[in-house]
């Protein structure tokens, strides 16, 4: 090798080392992917309304050797026939995409603030469609997304463009609102009950607040995941765009693009300065000094001229954004509790009308989700033969969408809307049951679950326990839960379990079932806490039977059981007392019917029949008297068990 050749190699080496050490160096070539930046506007749009944003995009595209396209939607009328321009623009994107390897779609008021960032940073292997979370609410943004040139991406966005035909006759939120339902249908086509519940909220939406509640419903279906096969959703603060007003117009080197750059909303920086706290969302400050000279935009010119007053420290802005993120997260997870009733296909809700209406109204007042699930919607994943066991499987399919879930029989209703489910959620407890009042049973017609693997596995195991029922009068799920829990909690107590199993195997009637259940209860003893399981004592749970106190209730009560429409009776003219009445009849505690449209957090004053509202101490005395009777029966049954 000659000295000249060595010199050339040395120079090449220096160039490589320099480029590698440069902060703007990327392992990928600027031309490794053909990428387009696309903005779609309607015919007649005055581009000066977005001048700074569009100029920043054009200059940025030149510096990174991307193609910048401002598409006029009327140029695509022959192939994109959507009536709504917000949906039509997504169709247009799919007509441009096939000419490139990847495409970044943007609203016209999104601009680049940091030209050293690259689109490739957000292109992940195996992901065809990439979205990001809006920062200031629970929405997945539709004003910008990144697509790879694949049939999957083209079909997904084309399908969304056509979704305008499925908008409800309500305040629907246009493409922002529609995208959430479209995506949920695409990702979870078999979650019919959850989709139906969210659709109902959307159908009745009257304003942005309602739209956000509907979107929160969808987001609980998505959960905390960000990856859905070929779709990815970047979390807040991890995407390529955010709103500048969140940090008072300030930005840092961690930012890439900012949203909201409409010319008519541009303001001068106040003379007294700015801070990184939130400002009015419909105003912004230009981060640039002077105007763009597009002719000077090139890969060798990544040094833009900024107004230094708007450049903040990354850590300070991060703190401001994290604070706001926590606010939005709280808004989303305030709806993290579901009230779930599972019924069989063909069940007439009118058989439980007052109970179900009270639950729906109560859920609205406390910002819970109310779900009336049809078990046949879960046939593909819940294959139990007995509907009483199958419904518990259904519960485990809904639970992952929430932080916690209250399961209820259809004939349980809320009488006191001021009580809250959180009162019964204890730290460290994943599954919460309560004692039935009028016998020794642990109730299985209602329980509270936290969204944990333990709770899901426990209830799933119980749903499958139908295969272990003895060939006797077994008491179905009510009887089964006792043996299932005992085997779960005391797997090594083989002698005690065998004795109780023997009684259960030979059971011929309800009296025998109660003796068997008493056998199990003697194993449990007087304890109420069993690690991650808790059983609330009588009078301490959230539900009791109204007939125990003659249909009367007090402010200590929360929910009442036994509200079947066919058993509803009129209050006797000669009045009532707080002593026991026939268990298969009840009186409605409400004056008139529920108007669900008026149920809201600001309306906790329900109209009750005053003659059914008793004094807490009087009803407590009646309940304690009955509690003593049941305790004696437990003791007597235990004695009888010893002599079997």
Pure H helices in 73-161: 85-96, 151-161
Cite the DSSP H helix spans in 223-352: 314-333
Rg (CA), the chain: 32
Q: Per-residue pLDDT for 558 more than 80?
A: yes
Q: Taking a C-beta distance cutoff of 8 angstroms, is the pair 206, 243 a contact?
A: no
Coil vs helix vs strand at 384: coil
Q: Are residues 330 and 450 in the same domain?
A: no
Which single residue is written with the structure tokens 């009849």? 585
**Other C-beta atoms within 10 Å of 616: how many?**
12
CATH number of the domain where residue 129 is located: 3.90.550.10
Confirm whether 200 is domain-assigned. no
Mean pLDDT score, 131-159: 92
Which tokens hold the place of 234?
């970047």
**At which of 314, 334, 354 does a domain end?**
334
| 493 vs 503: CA distance, rounded Å | 16
Instruction: Tell me, yes or no, whether 94 lies in a domain.
Output: yes
Give yes or no: residues 283 and 225 share one domain.
yes
Cα distances from 144 to residues 16, 141, 235, 512, in angstroms, run: 35, 6, 14, 66
CA–centroid distance for 277 within its chain: 28
pTM, two decimal places:
0.55
Residue 585 has pLDDT above 80, yes or no: yes
Cα 47 from Cα 69, distance rounded (Å):
13
Whole-angstrom distance, CA of residue 518 vs CA of residue 513: 9
* Same domain as 558, residue 483: yes
Domain extent at residue 128: 28-168+216-334
What is the pLDDT at residue 136? 72
For residue 453, the SS3 value is helix
Task: Look at residues 523, 529, 526 and name the one whose alpha carbon lies nearest to residue 499.
Answer: 523
Q: Where are the alpha helices (DSSP H) in 22-84?
A: 51-64
Average pLDDT of 130-149?
Answer: 90
Furthest-apart CA atoms within the chain: distance in Å: 120
Q: What's the pLDDT score for residue 461?
A: 97
441 and 308 in a single domain? The answer is no
**Between 331 and 475, the higher pLDDT residue:** 475
2 found inside a domain: no
C-beta separation of 335 from 366 below 8 A: no
> Is pLDDT at 14 greater than 60 in this prediction?
no
Residue 173 lies in a domain: no
Task: Specify the DSSP element, H or E, that contains 275.
Answer: none
Confirm whether 199 is domain-assigned: no
Partnered with residue 560 across adjacent β-strands are: 413, 544
Q: Give the three-state DSSP class for 592.
A: coil
| 600, 575 contact by CB (below 8 A) | no
Q: Within 10 A of 232 (CB to CB), how many other CB atoms are there?
A: 20
Q: Are 301 and 386 in a shared domain?
A: no
Q: Which residue, 56, 71, 58, 67, is CA-closest to 34?
A: 67
State the Cα–Cα distance between residues 447 and 407, nearest whole angstrom: 5
Q: What is the pLDDT of residues 204-244, one digit of tens each?
A: 888 887 888 888 888 878 877 889 999 999 988 889 998 88
Cβ atoms of residues 108 and 41 within 8 Å: yes
Angle between helices 453-463 and 387-398 (to 10 degrees): 160
Share of the chain above pLDDT 70, in %: 90
Name the E strands within 351-485: 369-374, 404-408, 412-414, 431-434, 446-450
What pLDDT digit, counting tens, does each position of 401-453 carry? Answer: 888 999 999 999 999 998 999 999 998 999 999 998 778 899 999 999 999 99
Which pLDDT band, with edges at 50, 70 and 90, does 321 fall under? Answer: confident
Triad 127, 131, 135: Cα angle to 5°: 145
Neighbouring C-alpha atoms within 13 Å toward the C-beta of 138: 26
Span 610-631, average pLDDT: 75
pLDDT tens digits, 351-401? 999 999 999 999 998 889 999 999 998 998 999 999 999 999 999 999 988
Q: Does residue 23 lie within any of the structural domains? A: no
Asked if residue 272 and residue 369 are part of one domain, the reply reads no
Residue 272 lies in a domain: yes
CA angle 83, 89, 95 (to 5 degrees): 110
* Rounded Cα gap, residues 642 and 633, in angstroms: 14
What distance lies between CA 285 and its chain's CA centroid? Answer: 35
Shared domain for 32 and 133, answered yes or no, is: yes
Tokens 């939120």, residue located: 173
The two three-digit tokens of residue 175, written as one number: 């493409």
Residue 627: predicted pLDDT: 67
Any domain includes 6: no
Based on the fold, state whether residues 285 and 362 are members of the same structural domain.
no
DSSP assignment letter at 224: T
Q: How far apart are CA 423 and CA 432, in angstroms?
A: 12
Total Cβ atoms within 10 A of residue 285: 21
Last residue of a domain, which of 299, 316, 334? Answer: 334
Strand order in the sheet with 227-228: 67-72, 35-41, 102-106, 144-148, 129-132, 231-234, 227-228
Single out the residue in 298, 314, 334 at which a domain terminates: 334
> Which pLDDT belongs to residue 15?
42
Give the Cβ contact number of residue 11 at 10 Å. Answer: 10
CB 281 within 8 A of CB 265: no
Instruction: Identify whether residues 313 and 343 lie together within a single domain.
Output: no
Q: What are phi and psi of 272, to 5 degrees?
A: -85, 10
Which residues, listed in sequence order, are joined to residue 178 by a DSSP beta bridge? none
Instruction: Residue 221: count other Cβ atoms within 10 Å of its Cβ.
Output: 20
Same domain, 534 and 620: yes
Burial (CB < 10 A; 0-12, 13-18, 19+), residue 390, is buried
Q: Are 321 and 135 in contact (CB under 8 A)?
A: yes
- Number of independent structural domains in the chain: 2
Domain identity same for 320 and 460: no
pLDDT band of residue 2 (cuts 50, 70, 90) is: low
Return mean pLDDT, the chain.
Answer: 87
- Residues 417 and 343 placed together within one structural domain of the fold: yes
Give pLDDT tens digits for 446-504. Answer: 999 999 999 999 999 999 999 999 999 999 999 999 999 999 999 999 999 999 999 99
DSSP bridge partners of 525: none
CB 481 within 8 A of CB 597: no
């Amino acid at each position: 090798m000659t000295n000249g050749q060595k010199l050339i190699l040395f120079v090449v080496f220096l160039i490589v080392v320099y480029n590698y050490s440069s902060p703007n160096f990327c392992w990928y070539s600027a031309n490794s992917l053909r990428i387009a930046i696309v903005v779609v506007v309607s015919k007649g749009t005055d581009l000066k309304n977005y001048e700074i944003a569009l100029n920043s995009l054009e200059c940025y595209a030149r510096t990174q050797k991307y193609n910048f396209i401002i598409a006029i939607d009327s140029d695509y009328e022959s192939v994109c026939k959507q009536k709504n321009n917000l949906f039509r623009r997504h169709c247009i994107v799919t007509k441009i995409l096939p000419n490139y390897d990847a495409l970044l779609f943007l609203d016209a008021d999104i601009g680049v603030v940091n030209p050293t960032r690259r689109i490739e940073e957000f292109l992940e292997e195996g992901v065809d469609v990439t979205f990001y979370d809006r920062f200031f609410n629970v929405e997945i943004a539709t004003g910008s997304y990144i697509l790879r040139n694949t049939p999957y991406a083209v079909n997904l966005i084309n399908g969304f463009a056509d979704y305008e035909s499925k908008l409800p006759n309500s305040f629907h939120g246009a493409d922002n609102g529609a995208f959430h339902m479209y995506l949920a249908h695409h990702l979870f086509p078999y979650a019919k009950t959850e989709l139906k519940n969210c659709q109902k909220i959307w159908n009745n939406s009257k304003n942005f607040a309602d739209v956000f509640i509907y979107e929160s419903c969808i987001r609980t279906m998505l959960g905390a995941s960000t990856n859905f096969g070929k779709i990815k959703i970047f979390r807040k603060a991890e995407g390529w765009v955010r709103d500048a007003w969140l940090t008072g117009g300030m930005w840092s080197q961690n930012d890439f693009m900012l949203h909201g750059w409409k010319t008519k909303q541009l303001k001068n920086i106040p003379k007294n300065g700015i801070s990184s706290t939130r400002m009015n969302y419909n105003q912004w400050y230009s981060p640039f000094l002077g105007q763009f000279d597009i002719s000077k935009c090139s890969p060798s010119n990544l040094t833009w001229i900024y107004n230094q007053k708007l450049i903040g420290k990354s850590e300070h802005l991060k703190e401001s954004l994290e604070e706001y993120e926590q606010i939005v997260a709280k808004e989303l997870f305030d709806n993290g509790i579901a009230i779930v009733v599972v019924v069989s296909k063909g069940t007439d809700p009118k058989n439980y009308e007052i109970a179900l209406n009270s639950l729906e109204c109560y859920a609205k007042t406390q910002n819970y989700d109310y779900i009336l699930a049809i078990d046949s919607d879960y046939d593909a994943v819940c294959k139990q033969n007995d509907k009483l066991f199958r419904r518990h499987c259904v519960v485990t399919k809904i639970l992952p969408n929430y932080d916690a879930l209250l399961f209820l029989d259809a004939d349980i209703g809320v009488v006191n809307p001021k009580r809250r489910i959180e009162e019964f959620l204890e730290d460290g407890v994943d599954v919460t049951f309560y004692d039935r009042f009028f016998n020794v049973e642990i109730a299985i017609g209602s329980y509270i679950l936290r969204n944990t693997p333990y709770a899901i596995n426990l209830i799933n195991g119980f749903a499958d326990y139908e295969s272990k029922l003895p060939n006797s009068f077994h008491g179905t799920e009510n009887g089964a839960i006792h043996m299932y829990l005992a085997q779960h909690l005391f797997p090594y107590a083989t002698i005690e379990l065998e004795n109780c199993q023997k009684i259960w195997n030979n059971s011929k009637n309800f009296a025998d079932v109660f003796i068997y259940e008493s056998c199990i209860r003697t194993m449990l003893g007087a304890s109420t806490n069993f690690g991650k399981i808790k059983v609330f004592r009588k009078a301490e749970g959230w539900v009791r039977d109204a007939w125990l106190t003659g249909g009367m209730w007090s402010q200590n009560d929360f929910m009442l059981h036994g509200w079947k429409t066919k058993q509803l009776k009129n209050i006797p003219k000669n009045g009532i007392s707080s002593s026991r009445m026939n268990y298969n009849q009840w009186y409605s505690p409400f004056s008139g019917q529920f108007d669900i449209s008026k149920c809201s957090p600001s309306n906790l004053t329900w109209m009750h029949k005053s003659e059914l509202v008793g004094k807490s101490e009087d009803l407590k005395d009646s309940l304690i008297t009955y509690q003593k009777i049941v305790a004696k029966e437990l003791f007597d049954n235990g004695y009888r068990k010893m002599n079997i």
